[in-house]
Amino acid sequence: MPLGSERSSSPFRLYRAAVEGSVEYAGPGVCAFCRTATDGRLALGVGAYVIYRCTMCEQSFAAGAAGHDRRVKTCPRCGTAEDGYRLGDDPATCYPCLRSGRAALTKDTEFGMVTWSDAVQGRTHGVPELTRTQPGFSLADPHPDGWVAVNIPPFVLLELVRTPTYRTYQGEEWLFCCATTMLYGGRWTKSDFVHHAPADPEAVLIEVFEGAQPWMWNQVPDDPQYDTGWGFYAFRCELCNRIRGHFDMT
Ligand SMILES: [Zn+2]
Ligand SMILES: [Zn+2]
Ligand SMILES: [Zn+2]
């Protein structure tokens, strides 16, 4: 069963809340890649990458979107020079161009940061001293500095970096279940808890949001317009329907 807050249709499979509420949402305008005028675009700012594909050897490689210029980009495999995109001021991508992989948006997850290059290599950037992960994933050998990456298939992580980022106070933390990414269902208000468990909505807080305490119920907003300074971010697993979440505060 979908989450109460979940949208049945979304341009992004993993992002089931209103894309207008995402960190990158930039409103209507022209896509930096396909030059199509569109109703909704996503800003290519810090943490965004432009993805090039070598015309000679077809190797894909990334260049940071911030401060991006037309200077020639060199294929790291064969050295072929490619013209840089002219992205313009305040560049933004349409949804189809992001989905098709012309850009990538860095994400933070419960197993560490994922840039485009991490995604292609099939691992997260890692977490210090991580000792266990979930069934279906394995830990990489620890780096000398103690950071431990989690091995996750490239196709799973590439879809994640081709998804908008949800807005939080302290930073997103995308969750996983059943060896894949969970679907982001939005910020929960009290009615979402009630929808999920009418008999005992307060128990859901403890069950779903790791580390939550019973007194935090008073911090759950009554409706999306009411800002308590606390955010409760909910995810659903498409495979087993499990719901998990995390919370933060200003
Ligand atoms: Zn486009
Ligand atoms: Zn090449
Ligand atoms: Zn699951």
Domain ranges of the chain: 1-16+169-250, 106-163
Whole-angstrom Cα distance, residue 173 to residue 151? 17
Give the tokens for residue 138.
Answer: 């394995």
Which ligand number lies closest to the CA of residue 52?
2
Q: Give the pLDDT score at 1.
A: 62
Nearest CA to 110 out of 46, 57, 177, 52 is that of 177
Helix %, strand %, coil % of the chain (to 5): 15, 30, 50
53 alpha carbon to ligand 2 midpoint, in Å? 8
CA 243 – CA 99 distance, rounded (Å): 25
Q: Considering only CA atoms, which of 164, 156, 161 is closest in space to residue 181?
A: 156
Integer Cα distance of 202 and 82 in angstroms: 56
* Residue 194: strand pairing partners: none
Give the pLDDT score at 7: 80
Distance CA 162, CA 44 (A): 12
How far apart are the CA of 176 and the centre of ligand 3, in A?
A: 8
- Collect contacts of 63-72 with beta carbons under 8 A, ≥24 apart: 65/91, 65/103, 68/44
pLDDT of residue 9: 81
Ligand of minimum distance to the alpha carbon of 80: 2
CA of 94 from ligand 3 middle (Å) equals 30
DSSP 119-134: HHHTB---EET-----
Query: How far apart are the CA of 55 and the centre of ligand 2, in A?
Result: 7
From the CA of 57, the nearest ligand is: 2
Cα of 136 vs centre of ligand 3, distance in Å, is 11
Alpha-carbon distance of 216 to 62, in angstroms, equals: 42
Q: Residue 112 in 3-state DSSP?
A: strand
Residue 140 contacts residue 152 (beta carbons within 8 Å):
no
**Distance separating alpha carbons of residues 210 and 176, to the nearest angstrom:** 13
pLDDT, one tens digit per residue, over 188-203 is: 999 999 999 999 999 9
Q: Note whether 152 and 122 are within 8 A (CB).
A: yes
- Ligand 1 center from residue 157 Cα (angstroms): 21
Given a cut of 50, the residues of the chain with pLDDT beneath it are: none
C-alpha span between 161 and 93 (Å, rounded): 13
Q: What is the pLDDT of residue 97?
A: 97
In this structure, which ligand is nearest to the CA of 60? Answer: 2
- Give the tens place of pLDDT for each residue, 14-48: 999 999 999 999 999 999 999 999 999 999 998 99
